[in-house]
Structure 1
Amino acid sequence: MPRFSVIVPAYQVQAYLHECLESVLSQSYPDLELIAVDDCSPDACGAVIDEFAARDPRVRVVHLPHNTGLGRARNAGMERATGDYLVFLDGDDTLTPDALLALADRLKETGEPDVLVYDYARTYWAGEAVRNRVAAELTERGPAPFRLTDRPGLLSLLMVAWNKAYRREFVQRTGLTFPPGYYEDTPWTYPVLMTAESIATLDRVCVHYRQRRAGCILRTTSDRHFDVFDQYDRVFAFLDGRPELERWRPVLFRRMVDHLVTVYTRRD
């Protein structure tokens, strides 16, 4: 059983996938499996993944027969994961050097929490890297692990799946999966943070989040942006069945309005 299952879905990221996969396999902490999911990509993503699998036995390949979208591709990777912790990485992003070693050390230091939240930096085509502007929320000062009620400021972070490590047993016990559609991170991340019995933070940039000139969801024009309503319906349906989480409803409502306004202001 490896320590980490790093799940990388790939769709139309041929130009970036080699760097992504190399950033995982070159980690100084080698106790991992890399589950690369070819989401029936029309470019050479599948061939790139097969090439890596041929030279490194830690690579496990999944070729989906038809395009399912990012959320379901991640689910396919989770179904095959055997590691203690799940780590998600998009096919156009990279892990920073020694990131998994830092995760492993912090997980041990904080007693194997359900969720470990770490930082990222946005990277631009000219080479500039800009750290998350609310990185102060990831301070390691104070007791750890903790629950969301102790550090509600974590909800101000970018609600994405790839800035956290998840104990696989916790994910299986809660039955969490990614939904279809755009903005699939929303009904995953909020339930994760609200239900985790133990959370810890790592004040370190572990992911370089590539800012592409094209390819970002907010740079597309499509009716699929209306999926954002369905995703928040899922979040509030999750709350409806769990009275003990009712305290989070006003907070999530405000976060929802902020998210909807962000989408709306991208008028293209």
Structure 2
Amino acid sequence: MPRLSVIVPAYQVQAYLGECLDSVLAQSFTDFELIGVDDCSPDGSGEIFDEYARADERVRVLHLPENVGLGLARNAGIDAASGDYLVFLDSDDTLTPGSLQAVADRLEQTGDPDVLVYDYARTYWDGRVVRSRDAGLFAPVSAAGEQRPETFAIGEREELLGLLMVVWNKAYKRSFVDATGLRFPAGYYEDTPWTYPSMLAAGTIAVLDRVVVHYRQRRQGGNILATVSRKHFDIFAQYDLVFAFLDAHPELEGWRPLLHRRMAEHLRTIGNHPDRVPPADRAEFFARAAEEERRHRPAGAPAVELAADWKSGAVGRLARKAKRTARQAQPQVKRAVAGSVLGAYQRVQRQLPLDGELAVFGSYWGRVPCCNPAAIHAKLRELAPGVRTVWVVENRRRAEVPRA
């Protein structure tokens, strides 16, 4: 029986899967099994798993007969796992060197807790590595200078529920998982009805002050949660599962107000995000969100406003439409003013010399820095580091701009 079972589901990730598997198999700690779950991937992911299994007996491969999605693929890995602890790793992410040894050491130091929480860093295609904004929560001493407990129940460190609610930043004791009946549902947001119940039900939790996972930020695509689709409506069923778990465990009833607030914040974020719910479906989404908020609202608690940002956006769109209508009502004035001002500006700019040490980049109408311009930018930084570079992007994408 290995100490750790590392479960890696894969679907259309052949470009990243080898790096992911290498990061596991190259660990200094060796008492683990790696369970690769080929979720009926149409690319070469299954063959990559098989190649690694032939070369290393610690690798076991499951080939699912049909595509079932990330949550159910993880369940298949759980059912096949034999380790004391379950570690989940997404197939486009990687483990940092020495991290499994650090996990095993921390589990021993803290008396085999039900859940061990560790940190991650986002890695960008241009080489940036940025540790999570919550790194301070893993320190043994708080910002106020108080010594934190080695192990605890979540009520002693409620702030940990503010961490990114994902499954891959934790190690779970297998016996705890089975006793609690934890399994992943189908659909989007499958981590939600796993992470909240596991954190609330855990008798003992410990933290590891270390970056264990490098969370890959792809240039473009790859994250299904950043896809405009009606599948984001799955979030309602996932929170229904969270509250059903709460209903089945009366001893956890005190957490209902917090979960209700977190759910409302989550629904508001999804509904207002431009890359989630289709614009034509937002009214329906917020109507469903309001119903969900009412159904799970604790007795006596005030209602939570969900659609304020979306409504503000609608008002803004109406205001912009009014402005356009006003402008269209005076075409001669519009052409005269705009034409004269723009023409004067362009005439001045044409008289200025070109700046040979400046390069301006843009892609996909400023939505995201990626594709061919991003590759050219990266090579330019290598070959001509003296050239200043500027990207034209939407304001919300500023953090994704590669280093100049």
TM norm structure 2: 0.65
User: C-alpha distance in 2, partners of 1:36/1:88?
Assistant: 11
Letter in 2 for 1:175: G
Structure 1 residue 128: Cα displacement: 0.5
Per-residue deviation, residues 78-136 of structure 1 (Å, max 9, x unmatched): 00100111000000000000000100111111111000000000111101011110122
Deviations 1:220-255 (A, max 9, x none): 121111001110111011111211101111111111
Shift of 1:264: 1.6
Higher relative contact order (CA 8 A, sep 6+): 1
Question: What 5-or-longer segments of structure 1 have no aligned partner?
Answer: none
Cα deviation, residue 218, structure 1: 2.9
1:19 aligns with 2:19: yes
Residue aligning to 2:331: none
Task: Report the alpha carbon displacement of residue 259 of structure 1 after superposing the two structures with TM.
Answer: 1.4
Match of 1:156 among 162, 184, 203: 162
- Unaligned runs of 5+ residues in structure 2 are 142-147, 276-404
Deviation at 1:262, TM superposition (A): 2.0
Tell me how far apart the structure 1 counterparts of residues 224 and 193 of structure 2 sit (CA, whole Å): 17
Deviating more after overlay: 134-143 vs 105-114:
134-143
Q: Percent identity?
A: 66
Query: Superposition pairs for residues 188-267 of structure 1, below 5 Å?
Result: 188-212=194-218, 213-267=220-274
**Displacement of 1:263:** 1.4
Q: Which residue number corresponds to residue 114 of structure 2?
A: 114
Deviations 1:53-92 (A, max 9, x none): 0000000000000000000000000001001110000000
Tell whether 2:5 aligns with 1:2.
no
Displacement over 4 Å in runs of 4+: none
Q: CA deviation at 1:210?
A: 0.5
- 1:36 match: secondary structure: strand
2 CA distance for matches of 1:139 and 1:178?
Answer: 30
Kindly provide the amino acid, as one letter, of the partner of residue 120 in structure 1.
Y
**Contact 1:186-1:235 within 8 A present in 2 as well:** yes
State whether residues 71 and 178 of structure 1, in contact with CA within 8 Å, keep that contact through their aligned partners in structure 2. Answer: yes
What is the aligned residue count?
268
**1:180 aligns to 2:186 (yes or no):** yes
Partner letter of residue 156 of structure 2? Answer: D
1:265 Cα deviation after fit: 2.3
Task: Name the residue aligned to 2:42.
Answer: 42
Contact 1:123 1:130 in 2 (8 A): yes
CA-CA distance at 1:261 after TM superposition: 2.0
Superposed, 1:49-198 pairs within 5 Å as: 49-141=49-141, 142-198=148-204
Tell me if structure 2 keeps the 8 A contact 1:218–1:263. no
Q: Which amino acid aligns with 2:21?
A: L
CA contact (8 A) 2:32 2:83 kept: yes
- Paired with 1:18 and 1:145, the residues of 2 have a C-alpha distance of 35
Cα distance in 1 for partners of 2:136, 2:251 equals 28
Distance 1:195 1:256 in 2: 18
CA apart distance, 1:139? 2.3
Q: Bigger CA drift: 114-123 or 254-263?
A: 254-263
* 8 Å CA contact retained: 1:140, 1:202: no
Give the letter aligned to residue 195 of structure 1: A
Q: Is the 8 A contact 1:32 1:58 kept in 2?
A: yes
One-letter code of the match for 2:263? M
**Greater shift after overlay, 79-88 or 256-265?**
256-265
Distance, in Å, in 2 between the alignment partners of 1:20 and 1:52 is 11
Report the residue type matching 1:157 in the other structure. Answer: L
Q: Could you list the per-position Cα deviations for residues 5-48 of structure 1 after superposition, in whole angstroms to 9, with x for gaps in the alignment?
A: 00000001110000000000000101110000000001100000
- Give the distance between the partners of 1:56 and 1:15, measured in 2 at CA: 20
**Partner secondary structure for residue 140 of structure 2:** coil
Which structure carries more strand by proportion?
1
Separation of aligned partners in 2, 1:45 and 1:76: 17
CA radius of gyration, larger in? 2
Question: What letter corresponds to residue 64 of structure 1 in structure 2?
Answer: L
Structure 2: distance between partners of 1:38 and 1:82: 18
TM-score in terms of structure 1 length: 0.98
> Helix, strand or coil: the match of 2:81?
coil
Do the aligned residues in 2 keep the contact of 1:20 with 1:92 (CA within 8 Å)?
Answer: yes
Q: Which amino acid aligns with 1:114?
A: D
